[in-house]
Structure 1
Amino acid sequence: MTDFAASVDRLHNHVRHWEQPRWRGKKADQVYALVQLLADLGADAEGQPRRPVPREHDMILPDQLRVVADDLLAAAPDEKTLAEAAAAVDDVRREI
């Protein structure tokens, strides 16, 4: 759990202060795709159906990241799921 939480903290701290011009290009799409993946993993862990995360303004993406990450942790997924989620977060952080 701590690896996932630490990975999310690093990414969140990296993007939370970004202004709109910084989100241009594929950065926003990559973070949104990560948000959706984390939401899907959380739904799976809860045994709930997957639902699309609303695509809001890019400036909201850091908040969406924090919320879906907290939801995933609250669902108490297995270690394999947390490792998958942490790897996805780390991949996005390296790419953006």
Structure 2
Amino acid sequence: MPTNDQLGAAVRKLVGQVSHWTPPRWAASGLSGASRADLMHDLIQWLADRTAEVEARPPLPVPRLDNDLALPDQLQVIAADLARYAPPEVQQEAAARITALRGAFS
């Protein structure tokens, strides 16, 4: 499915860009003065909320772990769930948001 491939590619590119980051790099300010870690967590929460919508269940908060180095793993898990259940238009929007955050981190 091309959309699933698009979402997977966007996730792989973002994970490849940030997986080696150190805690100070995650703590650096990104857009709107929020830390890069906060921006990534916001994206992960958005993906989790879309997954809940397509599964017709209430959204749940994604835990904010003590170690920001886990954020790429959280992204991969949540995005895999979304890719499994979401219709193409939701996957396309998710891929666009992931790509936009990747650009903001450049």
Q: TM-score range by the shorter chain?
A: over 0.9
Tell me which residue corresponds to 2:80.
70
Aligned residues: 95
User: 2-side partners of 1:74 and 1:80: how far apart?
Assistant: 13
Tell me which residue corresponds to 1:52.
61
Max Rg structure: 2
User: 1-side partners of 2:72 and 2:94: how far apart?
Assistant: 16
Cα deviation, residue 78, structure 1: 1.1
Tell me which residue corresponds to 2:89.
80
User: 2-side partners of 1:48 and 1:87: how far apart?
Assistant: 24
Cα deviation, residue 43, structure 1: 0.9
1:33 aligns with 2:36: no
Structure 1 residue ranges (4+ consecutive) displaced by more than 3 angstroms after TM superposition: none
Secondary structure, in 3 states, of the residue corresponding to 2:93? helix
Cα deviation, residue 22, structure 1: 1.1
Residue segments in structure 2 that go unaligned for 5+ positions in a row: 29-34
Cα deviation, residue 48, structure 1: 1.2
Residue segments in structure 1 that go unaligned for 5+ positions in a row: none
TM-align CA RMSD? 0.9
Secondary structure, in 3 states, of the residue corresponding to 2:45? helix
Tell me which residue corresponds to 1:15.
18
User: 2-side partners of 1:48 and 1:21: how far apart?
Assistant: 36
- TM-score, structure 1 as length reference: 0.93
